[in-house]
Each structure stands twice: as structure tokens, then as C-alpha cells.
Amino acid sequence: MAITNTNSVVASEAKEKLNIKEFVRERPEIPLAVGLLVVFLVGWEMIVRIFDVPIIMVPAPSDVYISLIDNLTSLSFLKHFGVTFSEVVVGFLLGASVGLLLGAFIGQFRLLEKTVYPYIIAIQTVPKVAVAPIIVIWFGFGVESKMVITAMISFFPVLANTIVGLRATPAEQLELLKAYTATRSQIFFKVKVPQALPYIFVGLNVGIVLAVIGAIVGEFVGAQAGLGYLIMQRNFSMDMAGTFAILVVLSAMGITLHTIIQSVQKRVVFWMDANDDNIMGV
Amino acid sequence: MLIKSTALSKIYNSRDGESIHALHDINFSIEDGEFVTIVGPSGCGKSTLLKILIGTLGKTSGSVAVRDQEIVGPNRDLGIVFQAPVLLPWRTILNNVLLPIELQGQDFAKFNQRAIDLLKLVGLEGFKDKYPSELSGGMQQRAGICRALVHDPSLLLMDEPFGALDAMTRENMNLELLRIWSAHRKTVMLVTHSIPEAVFLADRVIVMSARPGRIVEIIDVDLPRPRNLQMINSSSFGQYVAQIRTHFDLSEGID
């Protein structure tokens, strides 16, 4: 980090040309990644045009772009977006809180953990997609059923990582606190919880990505509004460019939510480098 | 008399049903204000002994008491330094030092100044608001020593506190520890596997041997205080080291 800072200071004092050179040398992956995207999009556009691929099969990136701009300026599209976004956020918050609380509770008692964990795994092996129709029957065609499906799907990674995280405290830290006459709750709040936080954030990051999937799957099964519902509609009317535009929006939604959680993580778990991959979640 | 151990023994039962005699018939007593070191090869039970004194490990038989009170669990009147500094990475140095105060529910404000004074004593006053990852290993261990002293315990237990440091830092830390000890006059029990370190620091050296872990000799070190590094080259220092080494040359080397 320090090296990057001094280099960028030095670079800013030099000419603009040198600045870009420095940047490319420091982070060569960024221009490469942008370049790759450009090559991919141009290649795609050219193949569609040269082979005259019909737009109802594969739309060209330019078609997708036009549709995307149309959508983003249309009130009804924004309404569908709002429905899916609220399903994702509310469902995720619900699933994550239940996962967190239950994980914290189960993690407290080794025997309880051993007793219930096989069942949690068993429930997890049932594909949520397969359960979605049942949930829709139980909770209706509105947003509630999607929130439940989203909650169910984002619940597990948070639960599992909370349990693992609470077990991750190094033995010498526990020994230290015990030696200084710490109580059980002091050990929990002063060491185990902070030690579990990096793991919990791994769970939250996985959970938020799954939450988007959960909402879309729920809408596929049966819905009156939302981006998943819109995909089905556009598919029926062969509006391929419109469908691709929704995929772009969904991906942007997932990336944004993921980024928000990562920036919260950086503040909360400030003593660890968020880009460090030394915490492997479940 | 601060600590008295009588016929103390500890037997571990390993997984395959074999019982391991970690400590056998340990007898010693330690006076208030004494600096005692325990030296011995790996597996001689010195760390086991320390854990029993801390109160996080139970004994098998015998008796071990602090001020005539049998040890049954962790005790508030105790400062502990482990081999690793074991600082909590999300706390500043000052808050790490104040951890025992917080855990024991004592008045924070009252001990704040004491913590800062201790940090000053070990040359870390400028680092009180830094996080442990910003400090070197030696500095972290010094902060760990401040933490062990912040609640003003009468007994300080140290388990190979400088074992992870390089030789130069280690000598400096030894001098620093003696300086702190002369300023605060705690009773200190320090476990080490370095014979010169054991002699350099101690009023008395408890020499232990392995399988079963037992005391083979207790040696009074009659070197003048304050000690300095030149004494390491003196003939009397060499004699103490040689005397301790005879116990290990016969059976096994140390470490």
C-alpha cells in the first residue's frame, strides 16, 4: 500500500504521460481487463453483423445498449426493478439476520452444533429452486414469496460461516482471556465475535449474490412484477435485446450490493486486508 | 512466602490409553519479590507447571498454593506473558494493555494513566494509539509485558517470553525486564530453555529434567544486581551455566 502511495505522489509531479505509464506498471490488470472487454464486445458485434445473426437469436451489443437506454428511461421498467431490488434486499436482510442469530446460538454449544448440523446440511442439499413452487403456493404470487425464497437461499452461507468463524479464535487468545479471569460472555463478545467477523462477511458476500438468484428464480415460478417476470415476458415476445439488457441490470445490481458489503467489511474488519484471501469461507 | 508447591504431580492420559507423567513430585517455594527462572529441555513439563500456577490446568495430586490459598482457578493477582505477544489485532496498544482492567471490571479511568506510564517505561509511549500489526515483534512483546503489569499483580508468570525474538532483541529485553522488575519489585517466575538467560535473570534457577518432568536441582545465583551484559563473560557466570549444563550433557542436550 505504502509503495503505491509514494509512487502515485511521484507520478503526479511528473507529466501526464508518465502518470499513465506508472499506472499501467503498477496495475497492469486494469487496462488488460478493459481491453479484454472491448475485444469481446467488438468481436461479438462483428460476428453478429458479418454472419447476419437474426436479432431474435443473438442481439448485437449495440442493440442491447439501445434497449438498455430505453429501459432505464421507462417508468414501468424502473417499477419492475424496484420490485426485484426490494425482494433481494429484504430477503437477504431477513435470511442473513436469522443465519447470524442462529449461527451465534448454535456456535455457543458444541453439542447442539453436532446435533443439528447434519440436519442443516440435509436441508441445504435440497435445491431451493425445487422448493420455490411450494413457497409460491404458501406465500402467494406477490413479493412475499420471493422474499422468503431469497431469505432461504442467503441464510445458509451466513449461518455456516458464523458457526465456523466463532470456532476460529486462536487457542492462545482463549487461554489469555481465561487466565485473566474472563467470563463466558466476555470471551464471546471480546474475542470470539471479532474473530468471527471476517468469516461472517464471507458469508454475507456469498449470500448477497445468491439473493439475486433467489429473487429471479422466485419470479420465474410465478409473479406479477419484477425483472425475472419481465425476462419471461420478453422471452415470449422474442425480445432478445430486452432480455440481455435485463441481464446487464441484474449483474450491475449484484456487483453494487457486493461492493456495498465489501466497503462495510473494510470499515468493520479494519485490521484485516479485505483483499486478503486468507479467510476461506464455507 | 508467596508460592508453595508440595509433592505436585500431573499425569496426562493420552488417546491410546498411555499415561504420561508430565510432572513428578515437584517441591519448591518462592518468596515475595524473588526472581525465579525455570530451565529445562523440551517436554520437561515447565509449561505444564506454569499452566497449573495460572490456574487453567488442573493438577493430578499434591498441593500448590499462593499465600496458603490452594490454586483452583485463574487468579486476579496474576500477570501473564506468553511466548507470543497475543495482542488482539482490533485493539490499540493502549486498549490491549488495559484488557485485564476491562475483564476484571475495574475502573478504567483509574488505570489509564498507569497503562500510559508502563508504556513509557518500555519506550512505547508514542505507540499507544497504534494497532499491533504496526509494531515489531519485540515491541509487541513489550506491550504484552505492560498488559501483564497493568493491574499491579504481585506475581508475574512468563512462559518463554523472549523465545520468538532474535538474539540481539532478546538481550535488550532481558535488561529491560530486569529494569522493570527493579522498578516494580514483583515476584517473577520465568520459564526459558536458554541456560544463560535463566542464570542472567534469576535469584534462583529451578532446573528441570524430562520423562518424568521433575526438579533436578535448585541453584541460588549469587551475582550482584543490577546485572549487566559484561557479567555474562565473568567466570562465576560461566560456572553457574556449566553447573546447570551438567544435568543435560549426561542425559540429553537442551532442545
What is the domain range of residue B71?
A: 3-77+155-250
Q: What is the pLDDT of residue B202?
A: 92
Residue B82 lies in a domain: no
Q: Looking at B95, B125, B153, which one is the last position of a domain? A: B153
Rounded to a whole number of angstroms, the distance from the CA of A173 to the nearest CA of chain B is 6
Q: What is the pLDDT of residues A133-182, one digit of tens each?
A: 999 999 999 999 999 999 999 999 999 999 999 988 998 899 899 988 88
B76–A contact, CB cutoff 8 A? yes
Enter the pTM of the model.
0.80
In this predicted structure, what is the pLDDT of residue A282? 54
Residue A223 banded pLDDT, cuts 50, 70, 90: confident
Maximum pairwise Cα distance, chain B: 55
Q: Which three cell numbers stand for residue A7?
A: 509512487
Mutate to test the interface with B, among A176, A273, A278 (most CBs of B within 10 A): A176
What is the pLDDT, as a whole number, of residue A9?
Answer: 45
- Options 1.10.3720.10, 1.10.260.40, 3.20.20.140, 3.30.160.270; CATH of A64-268: 1.10.3720.10
pLDDT above 70 covers what percent of chain A?
90
What is the reported pLDDT for B97?
94
B54 & B178 share domain: yes
Please tell me the distance from the alpha carbon of residue A137 to that of residue A151, in angstroms, as a whole number. Answer: 17
Start and end residues for every CATH 1.10.3720.10 domain found in chain A: 64-268
pLDDT of residue B75: 82
* Structural domain ending residue among the three candidates B131, B153, B175: B153
**Per the CB < 8 Å rule, is A181 touching B99?**
no
Predicted pLDDT of residue A17: 61
**Domain shared by B56 and B179, yes or no:** yes
Grid coordinates given for A67: 434497449
Query: What domain count does chain B have?
Result: 2
Q: Is A57 on the interface with B (CB under 8 A)?
A: no
Do both B128 and B54 map to the same domain?
Answer: no
Indicate whether B148 and B215 sit together in one domain: no
Q: Are residues B203 and B159 part of one domain?
A: yes
Q: Write out the three cell numbers for A176.
A: 489469555
pLDDT at A279 over 80: no
pLDDT at B211: 80
- From B118, B153, B188, the end of a domain falls on B153
Residues B105 and B226 both lie in one domain: no
Same domain, B115 and B213: no
pLDDT higher than threshold 60 for residue A15: no
For A102, residues 6+ apart whose C-beta sits below 8 A from its C-beta are: A159
Could you report the predicted ipTM of this complex, rounded to two decimals?
0.82
Which stretches within chain A are classed as H helix?
2-13, 16-26, 29-50, 61-72, 75-108, 110-125, 128-139, 143-166, 171-179, 184-187, 193-221, 227-236, 240-268
Q: Are residues B219 and B169 in the same domain?
A: yes
CA A109/CA B142 separation, integer angstroms: 36
Q: Do B221 and B162 have their domain in common?
A: yes
pLDDT band at residue A2 using 50, 70 and 90 as cut-offs: very low
Per-residue pLDDT, averaged over A47-70, amounts to 90
Which pLDDT does position A128 carry in this prediction? 81
Does B133 sit within 8 Å of A172, measured CB to CB? no
Question: Is B145 within the bounds of a domain?
Answer: yes
Averaged pLDDT, A259-271: 91
- Are A179 and B88 in contact (CB < 8 Å)? no
Low-confidence ranges of chain B (pLDDT < 70): 1, 249-255
Please compute the mean of the pLDDT values over residues A56-74 and round it to a whole number. Answer: 90
**Residue B186: its pLDDT value, please?**
86
Express as a percent the part of chain A with pLDDT over 90: 61
B56 and B167, same domain (yes or no)? yes
pLDDT given for residue A281 in this prediction: 55
Cα distance from A6 to chain B (closest Cα, Å)? 18
Same-domain status, B112 and B192: no
CATH of the domain at B182: 3.40.50.300
What pLDDT score was predicted for residue A107? 85
Question: Mean per-residue pLDDT for A111-139?
Answer: 88
**B101 and B113, same domain (yes or no):** yes
Q: Which of A180, A192, A268, A276 is the mutation pick for testing B, counting most B CBs within 10 A?
A: A180
- In A, minimum Cα distance to B147 occurs at A180
pLDDT of residue B73: 85
